[in-house]
Amino acid sequence: MRILIATDAWKPQVNGVVRTYENLKRELEAAGHFVSILSPLDFATLPCPGYREIRLALARRSQVAAVLKQGNFDHVHIATEGPIGLATRGVCLRRGIRFTTSFHTRFPEYIEAYTGLPAWISYAFQRWFHRPAIGMFVATPSLKAELSKRGFRRLMLWSRGVDTAQFKPDPDRLGTREQSGEPTFLYVGRVSREKNVEAFLDLDLPGRKVVVGDGPILGFLRRQYPDVIFKGSKTGSDLAREYASADAFVFPSRTDTFGLVLLEAMASGLGVAAFPVTGPIDVVTPGVTGCLDEDLRAAALSALSLDRDQVRVQAMRHDWSRVADLFLANIYQARRAQGFGKRLIKAHAKLLQIKATARPIS
């Protein structure tokens, strides 16, 4: 297939949406598909108010139309509801091009937190945005149930993965508790209001707290919490070392739709402490890979006692190649429901049959 993915979140941004589509692109191309990313790199941009590290594209429909015409794509997937997503949606509707979408971010709650605009208004916009899609991909069963109650339709599950070769325990860096007796509690993610980072920083915990990530309130938190170690943004092997050097992972967010960092922490052998909300309740197995509790301190202390080997075993079930297969399966299912794409459906079925016979049985 020739697939266009339109996204307002792309490099050099560092977040779960970007990592998701980077890995999806790699896996799809390894399977022989052609994937083109339409991103802010293709347009003039302006800094997002309050989030200057995020660039908003000045996307014109004429530019998007030219890309679609030249690419001769079999399928269009719109990843975000920003300017690029809006322009791509408009062109597809005008030209009769069917497309799928994804719900990655709880913008209604974020906008309400930052501006006071009631979340129901933003949800009305998102329903309008996703309504024409032949399929709307969501990351977890609990999110699917919630959005269904809010009036979203044609919802399809599409989970996330983790690179278990990169994120793994390091025998030479297995936390600080064994060396000094003092544990290290780690947070990785955007340092922003909607991530509820202060709920972690305010906890009365032994040892030290480490925050890895960048964001609009990083400077403020550094001043407010001088005893916390803020390491800024890290990626690749540097980020993997931070996970391997910690003893437990604390995830204070109440608004994430999945939490890709949960899988990265688990693959590194870290027990997760989180609130029992959408994202953690779908990813974390209580008592095995983490502890979910409204008392985040109790959850963090309990996470220290989990078996790191068992935590990693659970994470290894989330392979990016499976995520890519599910992405394709959703596309074919959505197209079949609309009564077209029979050639592509047959091709995909044949591909899966070939992969099944070629895959060694363990």
Give mean pLDDT, residues 235-253: 95
Give mean pLDDT, residues 276-283: 95
Confidence category of residue 350, pLDDT binned at 50, 70, 90: low
Is 114 or 46 the better-scoring residue by pLDDT? 46
pLDDT at 179: 61
Q: Which helix (H) or strand (E) holds 18?
A: helix 16-30
Residue 118 is given by DSSP the state: -
pLDDT at 184: 95
Judge if 24 and 138 occupy the same domain.
yes
Q: How many residues does the chain have?
A: 362
| Range with the poorest average pLDDT among 40-54, 116-130, 258-272 | 40-54
What's the total number of domains in the chain?
Answer: 2
At 197-206, the pLDDT tens digits run 999 999 999 9
Residues 42, 264, 113: CA angle, nearest 5 degrees: 65
Contact predicate 274/252, CB 8 Å: yes
pLDDT surpassing 80 at residue 46? yes
pLDDT at 198: 98
pLDDT at 170: 83
Using alpha carbons only, how large is the chain's radius of gyration in Å?
21
pLDDT surpassing 50 at residue 359? no
Judge if 213 and 271 occupy the same domain.
yes
Judge if 42 and 187 occupy the same domain.
no
Judge if 150 and 202 occupy the same domain.
no
pLDDT surpassing 60 at residue 113? yes
Q: For all residues of the chain together, what is the average pLDDT?
A: 91
Q: Which two tokens stand for residue 322?
A: 């499976």
Judge if 181 and 215 occupy the same domain.
yes
Give the range of the structural domain holding residue 199, as residue numbers without chain letter: 177-315
pLDDT at 341: 53
Judge if 45 and 23 occupy the same domain.
yes
Q: Quick one: CA dihedral 91, 13, 258, 27, positive or negative?
A: positive
Judge if 326 and 310 occupy the same domain.
no
At 145-185, the pLDDT tens digits run 999 999 999 999 999 999 999 999 987 765 555 566 789 99
**Number of C-beta neighbours around residue 241 at 10 A:** 14
pLDDT at 110: 83
Confidence category of residue 114, pLDDT binned at 50, 70, 90: confident
Q: Phi first, then psi: what are they for 152, rounded to 5°?
A: -80, 145
Residue with tokens 């108010």: 49
pTM: 0.86
